Amino acid sequence: MRAYLPIAVVVAALAAVPLVVHSNVALNFLVVALLIALAGQGWNILGGYGGQYSFGHAAFFGTGAYVTAVLQVRYGVNAWVGFIAGIAAAAAVGAFIGALVFRARLRGSYFALVTLAFAEVLRIVASVAPITGAGVGTLIKLDLRAGALQFDSRAVFYWVILALVAVSLVIAQLLERSRFGAWLIAVRENEDAARALGVDATMVKLGAMTLSAAITGAAGCFYAQYFLFVDAGIAYGTWISIQALLTPIVGGAGTVFGPLLGALVVKAFGEGAKVIAGDAPGLDLIAYGAALILVIAFARRGVMGAIADVRKWLMRRPASSSSPAREAIHG
């Protein structure tokens, strides 16, 4: 259970935030950061632990968002049911794409490219298909009841997304300590060697992609409930594909807390850029792109890696600095 203690501490600390902070702007910032952390945790399962860099996680985010919205608006399905259905649909899309792609043994650049293409196909389809509201998008009717998964207080939304993030952290922690996780990491480090040792790499990657899609899909479902509006550019747009990969890489890919940490850093960085240079379209994304390049150049293991390095440095320091003192005493 000790492995889960840090998760409990972090989640409890974050849960207390709305009790202290009442500013809607600040809470909104945190809700969006957690939303991106959740989408990023999805990417992290496949990309961070599995080494399969998807450039098209929008495919899962968008499916979750659209299924949640369309089921409610067009079929009168309850929002909670829609939410679950959205996650299931995203997982199904992940399994479908994964089955096609991994069976064709696409890796590296090819994998990035084909995931990007799938997200684009879905975006184009969603922007013309009548069921998604085509170019107009889908608007969920305002209905501020817990039964409709809508709340008039931002704090409650915050706790909902925090709960989802907490679940995703536990999933990542479970994965890290499981046999399946070990297989997945083996595939990341050397797929051919893993296969030679009897790991069914295709099935492992497929499983990871399904799980990954479900988690990022959940972020999409939440987006739909929080903003009550979905269109093709939002749901299947490149912005979410970029954020989903950016947050774990900045925070530390293949670590439990990487995406959460990365999301907070990335969002703060984007807001900071806006404060410095004024709010203008594109500015936050310039900051994100620069952050991506800088992290890869100077901190390959992200913020989590930097923390580990600092800790190692601190552990070593007392030993070396105390030796002259010890010499003085004993000498």
| Residue closer to another protein, measured from CB, 7 or 295 | 295
Q: How many Å apart are CA 140 and CA 65, to the nearest integer?
A: 11
Closer to another protein by CB, 87 or 249: give it: 249
* 121 lies in the site for another protein, by CB under 8 A: yes
Smallest distance, another protein to C-beta of residue 150, A: 32
- Which C-beta is closer to another protein: that of 18 or that of 251? 251
Asked whether position 109 contacts another protein by CB under 8 A, the answer is yes
The one-letter code for the residue type at 233 is G
The least CB distance from residue 126 to another protein, in Å, is 11
Say how far apart CA 116 and CA 15 lie, in whole Å: 35
Alpha carbon separation from 179 to 50, 174, 210 (Å, rounded):
13, 10, 17
Cβ atoms of 233 and 27 closer than 8 Å: no
Q: Alpha helices of the chain — where are they, by DSSP H?
A: 5-20, 24-43, 58-75, 79-103, 108-128, 154-176, 179-189, 191-196, 201-227, 232-235, 238-251, 258-277, 283-298, 302-330
Contact at 8 Å (CB) between 168 and 175? no
Contact letters for another protein, residues 234-263 (x by CB under 8 A): --------x--x---x--------------
Based on the shown chain and the rule CB under 8 A, indicate whether residue 131 belongs to the binding site for another protein: no
Decide if residue 289 touches another protein (CB under 8 A).
yes
Q: Is 49 in the site for another protein (CB under 8 A)?
A: no
Between 13 and 297, CB nearer to another protein: 297
Q: Which is nearer to another protein, 116 or 260 (CB)?
A: 116
CA 323 to chain CA centroid, nearest Å: 45
Residue 110 or 178 with smaller CB distance to another protein: 110
280 binds another protein (CB under 8 A): yes
| Residue 130 is a binding residue for another protein (CB under 8 A) | no
**Which residue in the set 163, 197, 268, 293 belongs to the binding site for another protein (CB under 8 A)?**
293
Which amino acid, residue 79?
Answer: A
Q: Of 3, 228, 245, 283, nearest to 115 (Cα)? A: 245
**Is position 282 an interface residue for another protein (rule: CB under 8 A)?**
yes
Which of 158, 156, 161, 165 has the alpha carbon at shortest distance from 10? 165
Q: Shortest Cβ distance from residue 164 to another protein (Å)?
A: 26
Structure tokens at 301: 């293991």
Distance CA 247, CA 274 (A): 19
Contact 211, 184 (CB under 8 A): no
Compute the least distance from the CB of residue 303 to another protein, in Å: 16
By CB under 8 A, tell whether 146 contacts another protein: no
Q: Which residues bind another protein (CB under 8 A)?
A: 51, 53, 55, 100-101, 104-106, 108-110, 112-114, 116-118, 120-121, 124-125, 127-128, 242, 245, 249, 280-283, 285-286, 288-290, 292-293, 296-297, 300
